[in-house]
C-alpha cells in the first residue's frame, strides 16, 4: 500500500503540473459565469437598436404600433428602476414608493416621477439611474419617396435602405434600417375573420405557385427585413395590429373593448400543491421547481467530470506505456500497486477539480444572488438545503472508479491513442445514454425507464443523481447503491487482472472477448 500511495502522489504531482488541469479548473466556472452574465450583458450592451419605419396608408394602425412598442419599453424601464431601487436603497422601501406593475408605473408618471419619490431612500453614494437602451426606434421615411404610392413600388424604392446599401439619417447620425412596415389603404378589407377568407383568395381557391407568391406579397401588411433571425420586432408589430383590429371589432359589434379586456383578464387561480410536503406548506414554489430540475445540472457535471478524468487516465497510461516508463515503474512496484496508485492519483486530481468547481459555483451564486425572486438566490437556497452535493460526491467517486477500471483495461492493452479509439468509441456511445435521457428523467422520475436505468450499474450514478429530488423508493435508493458498490468492486478486480497481463504486452491490441477471458481466468 505504501508504494501505491507513492505512485498516487507521483500521478497527482505530474497531472497537477499539466496545463490541461488548470484549464479544466478555470474553464467550467468561467463557462458558468458567462452563461449567467453574458446574456444579460449582450442584451444590455451588444444588441443593436433596430430602426424601422412605418408607412401607414390606412392612417389607422401606425399609432397603435408605436404605442405598443413604447409600452414594452416602459416595462423595461420599470424593471430597471426596480432593480436600481433594490441595489441602492439605504433602507427597506415602504409600500407605495415603487409601483406594483408596469401599468401603474406609467400611470404614476413614469421614470421621472418614481425616481423623485425614491430619491430620499437612496444611499448617499448611489450613482445616477441609467435608463435601458431602446430595442426598437421608429424613423421617418427617406426624402424623395412618396408614402401614398403603390405599395409594391414603394417597397421597391425602399429596398436599398433595407438591404443596407443606403442609410437613414437620425439625430445627425447615419443608421441602418432594420425593417419597413407597409400598411395598405384597404387593410380593413383584408382582415381574416372566422368563417371567411379575403376576397382575393376566394376568387381563385387553387392559385398557381406564381399567383400565390404574388398574392402572398400583395395581401395584408408587408414587413420587409433581411434579418429574419430576430423575430421580436415582427412579433411586436403583429400583436399590436391584431390587438387594434380586435378592439375595432368589439366596437363594431357594440362591445366595450375595455370591458372585454377586463373579462379576458378574469381567471381562477390554480395553486400547485405537493402532498409530500409538510401540512400547511404544501404550496409549490419556484424553489421547488428549481429543486426538481437542479439534479439534471448535477448529472451533466457528473458526466463531464467523469469523462474528462478518465480521458486523463487513458492518456497518462498510454503515454507511459509507449515511452517505456511503465517498465521502469514495474521494476520497483507490482502491477497491482501501480494500478491502484494511478487510480488514487487521478481520483485525487478529479476530486480537486470537482471541489474547485463546487467552490466556484457557490461563490458565483452567492455573488450574483440578490432579491427574493432572483434565480441565483433560489438555486443557492436549494443547494444549501438539500443533499445534492453529498450525493454528487458519492456517485462521482463510485462512477469514476467503475469507469476508471474500464479505462485502465483499455490503456494497458493499447500502445497508442489511435489503437484505443475503437474501444473509446464503444464506451462513449454507452455513456451517451444518460445525456440523452437527462431531461426526460425528471419528468417521470419514478417511471419504468428511470427505474430500469437505475438498476443498470453503468447508468446508476447518473440516473439516481437525476432522481435525487423525487424521493425514489427506498428499495431503489439502497438496492442500486449496493449494486453499484458491488459492480465497482467487480470492475476493479477484473480490470486488475487485465492490467497485470496487458501492461507489458506489445503488438496488436486484443479483442474484447479475449480481454474478458483474461479477466475471468484463474490466476496461475
Domain map (residue ranges) of the chain: 2-38+279-520, 50-184+221-264
Q: Which residues contact 515 (CB under 8 A, 6 or more apart)?
A: 409, 413, 498, 502
Q: How far is CA 488 from the centre of its chain?
A: 33
Q: 0.85 cut: is pTM over it?
A: no
Q: What is the pLDDT along the chain (524 residues), one digit of tens a residue?
A: 677 788 788 877 877 777 777 877 787 778 777 776 776 677 666 678 899 999 999 998 999 999 999 999 999 999 888 888 888 887 666 566 788 888 888 888 888 888 888 888 888 888 889 888 888 999 999 988 888 889 889 999 999 999 989 998 888 888 899 999 999 998 888 888 776 655 444 444 444 444 434 444 556 899 999 988 888 899 999 999 998 998 888 888 888 877 887 887 787 877 777 776 777 776 766 666 667 777 787 788 888 888 888 888 888 888 877 777 777 777 778 888 888 888 888 778 878 887 887 777 777 766 665 544 456 666 666 667 677 778 888 888 888 888 888 888 888 888 787 878 878 888 888 888 888 888 888 888 888 999 999 999 999 999 998 888 778 889 999 999 999 999 999 988 888 888 888 777 777 777 777 777 877 776 54
Q: How far is CA 290 from CA 205, 295, 297, in A?
A: 51, 9, 10
What 509-513 contacts at long range (C-beta under 8 Å, 24+ apart), as own/partner pairs, is: 509/413, 509/414, 509/415, 509/419, 509/420, 509/423, 510/413, 512/423
Residue 204 CB: number of other CB atoms within 10 A? Answer: 11
Amino acid at each position: 500500500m505504501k508504494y501505491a500511495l507513492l505512485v498516487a502522489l507521483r500521478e497527482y504531482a505530474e497531472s497537477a503540473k499539466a496545463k490541461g488541469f488548470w484549464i479544466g479548473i478555470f474553464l467550467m466556472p468561467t463557462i458558468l459565469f458567462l452563461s449567467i452574465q453574458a446574456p444579460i450583458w449582450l442584451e444590455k450592451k451588444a444588441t443593436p437598436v433596430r430602426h424601422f419605419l412605418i408607412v401607414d396608408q390606412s392612417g389607422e394602425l401606425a399609432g397603435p404600433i408605436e404605442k405598443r412598442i413604447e409600452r414594452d419599453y416602459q416595462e423595461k424601464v420599470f424593471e430597471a428602476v426596480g432593480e436600481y431601487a433594490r441595489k441602492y436603497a439605504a433602507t427597506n422601501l415602504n409600500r407605495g414608493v415603487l409601483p406594483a406593475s408596469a401599468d401603474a408605473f406609467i400611470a404614476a408618471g413614469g421614470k421621472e416621477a418614481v425616481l423623485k419619490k425614491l430619491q430620499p431612500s437612496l444611499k448617499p453614494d448611489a450613482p445616477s439611474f441609467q435608463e435601458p437602451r431602446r430595442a426598437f426606434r421608429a424613423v421617418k421615411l427617406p426624402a424623395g419617396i412618396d408614402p401614398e404610392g403603390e405599395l409594391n413600388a414603394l417597397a421597391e424604392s425602399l429596398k436599398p435602405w433595407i438591404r443596407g446599401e443606403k442609410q437613414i439619417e437620425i439625430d445627425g447620425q447615419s443608421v441602418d434600417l432594420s425593417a419597413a412596415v407597409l400598411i395598405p389603404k384597404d387593410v380593413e378589407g383584408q382582415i381574416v375573420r372566422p368563417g371567411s377568407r379575403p376576397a382575393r383568395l376566394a376568387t381563385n381557391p387553387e392559385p398557381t405557385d406564381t399567383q400565390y407568391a404574388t398574392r402572398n406579397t400583395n395581401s395584408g401588411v408587408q414587413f420587409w427585413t433581411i434579418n429574419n433571425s430576430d423575430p421580436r420586432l415582427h412579433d411586436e408589430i403583429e400583436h399590436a395590429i391584431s390587438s387594434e383590429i380586435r378592439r375595432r371589432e368589439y366596437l363594431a359589434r357594440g362591445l366595450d373593448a375595455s370591458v372585454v379586456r377586463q373579462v379576458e383578464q378574469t381567471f381562477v387561480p390554480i395553486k400547485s400543491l405537493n402532498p409530500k410536503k409538510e401540512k400547511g406548506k404544501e404550496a409549490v414554489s419556484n424553489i421547488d421547481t428549481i429543486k426538481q430540475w437542479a439534479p439534471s445540472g448535477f448529472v451533466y457535471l457528473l458526466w463531464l467530470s467523469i469523462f474528462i478524468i478518465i480521458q486523463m487516465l487513458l492518456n497518462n497510461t498510454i503515454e507511459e506505456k509507449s515511452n517505456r516508463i511503465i517498465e521502469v515503474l514495474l521494476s520497483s512496484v507490482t502491477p497491482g500497486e501501480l494500478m491502484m496508485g494511478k487510480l488514487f492519483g487521478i481520483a485525487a486530481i478529479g476530486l480537486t477539480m470537482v471541489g474547485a468547481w463546487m467552490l466556484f459555483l457557490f461563490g458565483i451564486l452567492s455573488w450574483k444572488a440578490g432579491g427574493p425572486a432572483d434565480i441565483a438566490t433560489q438555486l443557492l437556497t436549494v443547494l444549501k438545503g438539500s443533499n445534492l452535493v453529498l450525493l454528487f460526491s458519492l456517485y462521482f467517486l463510485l462512477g469514476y472508479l467503475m469507469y476508471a477500471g474500464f479505462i485502465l483495461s483499455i490503456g494497458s492493452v493499447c500502445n497508442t491513442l489511435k489503437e484505443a479509439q475503437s474501444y473509446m468509441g464503444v464506451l462513449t456511445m454507452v455513456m451517451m445514454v444518460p445525456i440523452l435521457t437527462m431531461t426526460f428523467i425528471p419528468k417521470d422520475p419514478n417511471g419504468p425507464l428511470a427505474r430500469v436505468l437505475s438498476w443498470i450499474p453503468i447508468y446508476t450514478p447518473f440516473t439516481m443523481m437525476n432522481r435525487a429530488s423525487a424521493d425514489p423508493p427506498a428499495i431503489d435508493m439502497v438496492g442500486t447503491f449496493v449494486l453499484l458498490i458491488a459492480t465497482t468492486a467487480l470492475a476493479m478486480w477484473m480490470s486488475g487482472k487485465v492490467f497485470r497481463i496487458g501492461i507489458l504486452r506489445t503488438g496488436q491490441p486484443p479483442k474484447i472477448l479475449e480481454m474478458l477471458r483474461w479477466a475471468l481466468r484463474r490466476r496461475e
